[in-house]
Amino acid sequence: MTKPAKISDLDLHAYIDGELNADQARTIEEAVARSPALAVRLAGYRADKEMLKRMYAPLAQRPIPLAWVALARTTTPVRARHSWRLVGTIAAALLVILVGVSFHLGQRQNLGGDVVEAALQVRSGTVGPQKAVTVDGMAEARHYDAALRQVVGANVKVPDLEPMAYHITGLRFYDGAAEVSYRDGQDRVFTLYLRPSDGKTRFDQFEQKGLRICVWQDDRISTVMAGDISAAVMQRLASLTYIGLTA
């Protein structure tokens, strides 16, 4: 692993998980410092891991169902090949669930609703802001964290998307809503629209009006992310946005 091109995704995951020795970790760090593309990959995997940790942390705190404990105590040990068959069965079942969830989300893409339409109107400039500011970097954007919290009504801050090479360019404030704008090295615009939630939990990702849209909503805030990007890039940007908003 002396060259960035030879560093695999498994190497990056091992580095994130702290499974490499000091020399291997140093090799990764030096390669990341030389390669912006590798740095983006590493940041993306870190964001994915953090998102999964946040999503499933509540499940980890729940007690193991007594029926599962009883089953584990009474089940006769099986040979390795049967265990792997069981693992394969579980994996297949999880895949069916994930496919089902993806299909369900896809079916909902025409149910974008008011928050998505509002976000797209703001992005297109159809609705004029009460206040618009241009910022040059996150240090300057930090001055508007308090204003964002006041508009959204939650303890949030302007997300830093620099690890994915998206640089903040400005904020626009509306009556009860705000938009944060970013651009990457290819001048592609990524926008984050925020406003108080209507109380319903929701997570969607779909295409609308030539843009990749991601909607994330809990009982406090509604967020709509939009950009001319792939689903994979949106997934990582959404993860990084969530972490940046709530960290």
Residue 122's H or E segment, with its range, is helix 113-124
122 and 224 share a domain? yes
**Residue 50 reports pLDDT greater than 90:** no
Report the phi/psi class of residue 165: left, alpha or beta, with left for phi > 0 and alpha for psi in -120 to 50. left
Q: Looking at residue 107, what is its pLDDT?
A: 40
Terminal CA-CA length for the chain: 33
Task: Evaluate whether residue 126 is within a structural domain.
Answer: yes
User: How many domains does the chain fold into?
Assistant: 3
Q: Give the whole-angstrom CA distance, residue 145 versus residue 246.
A: 12
Structure tokens that stand for 31 in this block: 């390669």
pLDDT digits (tens, 9 = 90+) for 104-147: 444 443 333 489 999 999 999 999 999 999 999 999 999 999 99
Range of the domain at 181: 112-246
Task: Evaluate whether residue 34 is within a structural domain.
Answer: yes
Q: Looking at residue 242, what is its pLDDT?
A: 86
Q: Give the whole-angstrom CA distance, residue 208 versus residue 12.
A: 33
Phi and psi (nearest 5°) for 130? -75, -30
48 and 125 share a domain? no
| Prediction pTM value | 0.60
163 and 184 share a domain? yes
When pLDDT is averaged across residues 147-164 and rounded to a whole number, the result is 92
Angle at 47 between CA 42 and CA 52, to 5 degrees: 130
Half-sphere exposure of 109 (CA within 13 A, CB side): 15
Structure tokens that stand for 134 in this block: 């241009």
Rg (CA), the chain: 21
**Residue 61 reports pLDDT greater than 70:** no
The answer to which of 29-43, 92-106, 209-223 has the lowest mean pLDDT is 92-106
pLDDT digits (tens, 9 = 90+) for 183-197: 998 999 999 999 999
23 and 85 share a domain? no
Residue 66's H or E segment, with its range, is helix 66-74
Mean predicted lDDT score pLDDT of the chain? 79
Q: How far is CA 114 from the centre of its chain?
A: 22
Q: Looking at residue 3, what is its pLDDT?
A: 45
95 and 186 share a domain? no
